[in-house]
Amino acid sequence: MEQDQPVIRITPAGPETSVQIKKTPRMGLVFLKALLIAPFRPNTLADNATVPLTRILLQGFQPDPALISRYRTICGFKENNNGTIPITYLQTLFIGILGKFIISPFFPLKPTGLIQVFQSFEQKRPVNTGETLDLACILSGFTKKETGIETRFILEVSSGGEIVWQGISGFFTRSGAKKAPSAPKPDEIFLEQRETIPVPSGTGLRYAAVSGDYNPHHLYTLTARLFGFKTAIAHGMWSLARVTASLDREFDLQGPALIEASFKLPVFMPAVTTLGWEQASDEETGRPQVRFELRDQQKGLPHLKGRLLFS
């Protein structure tokens, strides 16, 4: 997304509508309904569009310790971290809820073609596998540009009436307009490479099994080609989880922390990537932070960039 494009912000307006669901939606049914309703929805909004303020709630959710253990292995986290849930895992609990949201009457855009471009999550405190959780997904708003529109959702995890984890998921829907020529970008400064991370074929399938994200372009070359990719691409959230696992080994993310990342170019599997990071201080708050990036080993092209901010 070009930063110099004029933008229009569309914020949902109240009164708020709350929709309670009793279980995590089945993604197969979500995909089917998304395909059926896609031709009847637009891929953009009017500048003065009115969108209702809505949240979808799933209460009394019990995390599966066996699934979390498998997630740790697939994403490279330490095998057991005092019974706590990895900071990135809680995002996977919302995949079905987000799917439910975008096929509901409360979401005004076409449910197909959404590309995840941003993810943040703030851990207020570590969450234990034995806790009973309440999940809330709120439509935060839209940023409209010439080349498309970005949708953001707020994700909240509560335990005992207290918000213990909060995230923001950002998705981009292309408008079909061509990008205007932009000024040449200055040469990038690469962060110091700290680790080589291979991404073997099948990573998408393995991550789908523990996250529930079975988007076809992550699974097989054949299904990826149906969506315009030459081979299957790794989930952006797997890449971010794998990076976070390395940062967890280095900095022990057992306290309050904020991670935010922008997804850049896709990782075509198989691949070899490099993780770079450097410690610094946040310019606004002075709090310690770690800037990180994941790049293609051979060409140096960026797959994701972000930061870890300590409280």
Closest Cα to residue 99, out of 31, 149, 166? 31
Which residues in the chain are classed under CATH 3.10.129.10? 1-183, 188-311
- The answer to whether the CB of 71 falls within 8 A of the CB of 239 is no
C-alpha span between 41 and 76 (Å, rounded): 39
What pLDDT sits at residue 189? 87
The helix/strand count (H/E) of the chain reads as: 7, 12
User: 88 phi and psi, to 5 degrees?
Assistant: -80, -25
264 near 307, Cβ under 8 Å?
Answer: no
Tens digit of pLDDT for each residue in 87-112?
Answer: 999 999 999 999 999 999 999 999 99
What's the N-to-C CA distance of the chain in angstroms?
Answer: 30
The enclosing H or E element of 309 equals strand 302-310
d(CA 109, CA 112): 9
- Give the pLDDT score at 218: 95
Per-residue pLDDT, 1: 41
Q: Is the pTM of this model over 0.75?
A: yes
Question: Interior CA angle at 96 toward 73 and 49, to 5°?
Answer: 135
Nearest to 42 by CA among 92, 113, 115, 98: 113
Pick the CATH number of 1-183 from 3.30.70.20, 3.10.129.10, 3.30.360.10, 3.90.650.10: 3.10.129.10
CATH number of 188-311: 3.10.129.10
Percentage helix, strand, coil for the chain under 3-state DSSP, each rounded to 5: 25, 35, 40
Measured at the alpha carbon of residue 49, what is the angle toward residues 46 and 53, in degrees to the nearest 5?
145
Question: What is the model's pLDDT at position 2?
Answer: 45
Q: Which long-range contacts (CB under 8 A, 24 or more apart) does 276-284 make?
A: 276/190, 276/191, 276/192, 276/193, 276/194, 277/191, 277/192, 277/194, 277/247, 278/191, 278/192, 282/309
C-alpha–C-alpha distance, residues 18 and 121, integer Å: 22
pLDDT computed for residue 116 by the predictor: 95
What is the per-residue pLDDT for 14?
84
Residues of the chain with pLDDT under 50: 1-3
What is the SS3 assignment for 230? coil
